[in-house]
Structures are given as C-alpha cells and as structure tokens.
Amino acid sequence: MAFDFRLPDIGEGVADGEVVRWFVKEGDSVREDAPLVSVLTDKANVEIPSPRSGKVVKIHAQVGEKVKVGGVLVTIEDVGGGAPPAGPAPPAAPVARAPPAAVAPAPAPLTTGVSVAASPYVRRLAAERGIDLATVRGSGPGGRVTEADLAAASAGAAPSRPEAAPAAPSAEPPARSTPSAAPAPPTPLADVAERIPIRGLRRTIAEHMSEAVHRAAHFTYVEEVDASELVRLREKMAKHVEKQGVRLTFLPFLVKAVVAGLRAHPRLNATMDDARNELVVRSAYHIGIATAAPDGLLVPVVRNAERKSVGQLAREIQELSERGRAGKLERSELLGSTFTITSLGALGGVLATPILNYPEVAILGVHKIQRRPVYRPDGTIGPADLMNLSISLDHRVVDGYEGAQFLATVKSYLEDPHQLFSELA
C-alpha cells in the first residue's frame, strides 16, 4: 500500500522549507533511514531520511519549491504489501547539514485561505501596511508578489485579484485555491550563456540581505590602522600556536579587540527587536565570523569570546570554518550572534560597506594589510603595515559619533596589541 510522507516538524518555529535536492527519483526503491530529500529552512539545510523502505511512487515537490510543515513531499509504496499504517506516517528525524547564515524568522502566514507566493520580507511589509496579499496580483515569477506590487497596491495602481462573489452560507469549508499559473517563458536573448536559478541557500541569503537593507538605516565609517606591531606579534605567537596544529591568522586578535571595543561601547553589542521597537543589549559577546562556503556565505558563531585566549579563538575559528565549508555545522552554531566580523583575508581589498547581519546593529569589515611608507612623528618617513577597517551600523539606534568611538577603541588595541593580554575579564 502507498502512503504520503509529509514534511515533519523540524522545530524552532520553522513553518516551511524549500526542497534543494532529492536523493531519489520516481520509480526508485528506498531503504528505511536512507537519505530521501534535503530541505532548506530559514535556519538550516536539513537532510531528511526515509521513514521506511519502499518504492517512490510520486514526488510532489520539485527542487526549488517550498513546502509547508505537514505538506506532502513524496508518496512511497510499501513493497512488503502489508496493511497501510494507522494514521499519518511518523516523521523521520531530520539531520542538520550545511546551514545558512542566521536569518530573521518569517512572520506568521495570513489567514485569508489563499495561497500566495511571496518572500518573508514582502509578507511582513504587507502585514505592516494592512494589505491582504490575496488581493495583490504578483508580477514576479510564477505570480510571486514583490515589494513593487505592494507599493502599487498601496497607491491603488495595481490590478487586484478578482474577488469572489458573496456565497450563500454553507457548512462546507471553502475549496482550496488553485496553484499560480506557470510563468511565461523568458524572452529569447541571443547572448544568454546560462540561466542560474536563485534557490536554496543563495535564495535564503538574498532574502536576508534584502530584509537587512530595507529594515536598517545603514551607514559606514572607515578608519586606517597601523598594524605593524600586530604583524610582528602574530609572527612571534604563530611559532608556538602552530606547533599544536592550529593556524594563527589575524582574526583572533581582531575578535579580542572587538570585544574590548564592545565592552567600552555596549550599545553595539545588541540586536534590534523591531516588533517591540526595542534595542536588546547583550551581556555576553557572541561573535559571528562570516565564512565563505561552496553554496554561499555562512556566519558561524564564536560564543563567549570574552572568555577565550588568542590560541583558543584560533582553534575554534579554524574548526568552525572547516566544518562550515564541509557542510557539517550544527544549527545551534549559526544562531545567536551579537556582532559580526567579515574578512576576505589577503583578498580584503581597500574598502567595503558590509551589510548588517540583521537584527544585529553593527558589522566590522576587515581589509588586507599592505606595507606602505608613512610619515613618523619625528618627521622621518618609514615603512608601516597598514589596513582599513570599515564598520557598518544601524543609524536608527547608533549615532555616527558612537560608531567612530568604537572603531577608535578597536584601533588602539590593534596598534598596541599587548593591551589585549592585560585586559581584565
């Protein structure tokens, strides 16, 4: 007998997931607990195993489709021919794989009974503006409602979805809406080399970045740092740390300098609660380290960085980065950061304007160190190892002067890094 396997409740407020990979195809046989499908939620990439052995009769959700918790993923035929299970099939235990950068949870779905394609950001905007998404005609792919559609609807310029005529009272529940029509084929272009679907982790990152830009009032402040003494100190310490199999980069020193700056300016070690219009200042220092992975950017979190030595930080950052690139991070290792550092190492460029890891209110961009001639206080010219730091802040809650003070504190610790080891916990 055949049964429908539904997307299990993954927990932590997850309402739906996007299918990013099927490990089987229709007609395949599958063993119990064998990998069945990989689903991306707003918090993790979850590999779901098959709840039992059988034959895959029908796949109900294709790659790129979003499925609500409880929605049918696949129909599996019991090859044993036994009686069908009583009640719904038990959900298989999900296994977290390569998780994405932490993102704000999507708002609760509207209650109109109409299925509408829209991103979490657009849904939140619609709720804030009092717009029923069911009345808005989407101009995006597959009828997806965009922010421009909301703006047009607010101005009364967008044609709305036709409203059903009032029906006579009935005891029967309303019929489910039909899916959106397939998008029109793209206009042929002579010079198109490839069309790349934006899905999976890349789509989650895109939605998170859009929300961050539209939510926060970004501004960026840049400071030049003379890292000459830091370069010398790292070279001396690396001989000892690397004997233990750990590569000592500049990041551990930057983390300690950032913690010192956050202690002096605690309003930057915070997140915004936009629902309550409150700045939530944190007492612990959980530093997110932006890490490039094959599918996109991840932000693993170094927890309680204030309690760790340079060597401990180096080991933890290295392990998090390696497991992030291999897709082996746990979901808990990507949540709860209070401040983020993003660095491209030797490719760090001269200047960048990082986008906030919303709902955090500050992010530090670290740029490459270059040796250049500088004027000394005694009037002579000599070489120095210089680098730029750029900090982006949420101007709604952090003033420019406060941001500049924070970066000045970080600069002072990096230019005289021995201070990092005299700071009291």
Q: How far apart are CA 111 and CA 108, in angstroms?
A: 9
Q: Which residues contact 37 (CB under 8 A, 6 or more apart)?
A: 19, 21, 22, 23, 24, 47, 48, 73, 74
Report the alpha-carbon angle 383-384-387, nearest 5: 145
DSSP label at residue 192:
-
d(CA 300, CA 359): 15
* 271 DSSP β-pair partners: 280, 360
Segment holding 125, helix H or strand E = helix 120-129
d(CA 51, CA 90): 7
Which DSSP state fits 272?
E
AA identity, residue 52: R
DSSP strand pairing (339-343 vs 287-289): parallel
Computed on alpha carbons and rounded to an integer, the radius of gyration of the chain in Å comes to 26
Active site residue 265: no
N- to C-terminal Cα distance for the chain? 64
Task: Look at the block and give the residue holding tokens 């044609």.
Answer: 159
Return the closest-CA partner of residue 86 out of 191, 1, 195, 207: 1
Sole residue written with tokens 């000045």: 408
CA distance 344 to 411: 19
Contact yes or no for 313/307 (Cβ under 8 A): no
Q: Name, in order, each residue with C-beta under 8 angstroms of 272's C-beta and a sequence gap of 6 or more.
A: 215, 216, 278, 279, 280, 358, 359, 360, 361, 394, 396, 397
Name every residue whose Cβ is closer than 8 Å to that of residue 394 and which is 6 or more positions away in sequence. Answer: 216, 217, 218, 272, 356, 361, 362
Helix (H, G, I), strand (E, B) or coil at 182: coil
Active-site residue, 295 included:
no
Closest CA to 343 of 326, 364, 312, 319: 364
Q: Give me the catalytic one of 78, 132, 274, 395.
A: 395
Kind plus residue range of the DSSP H or E element containing 389: strand 381-394
Select which of 9, 28, 399, 416 is catalytic.
399
Residues designated catalytic: 395, 399
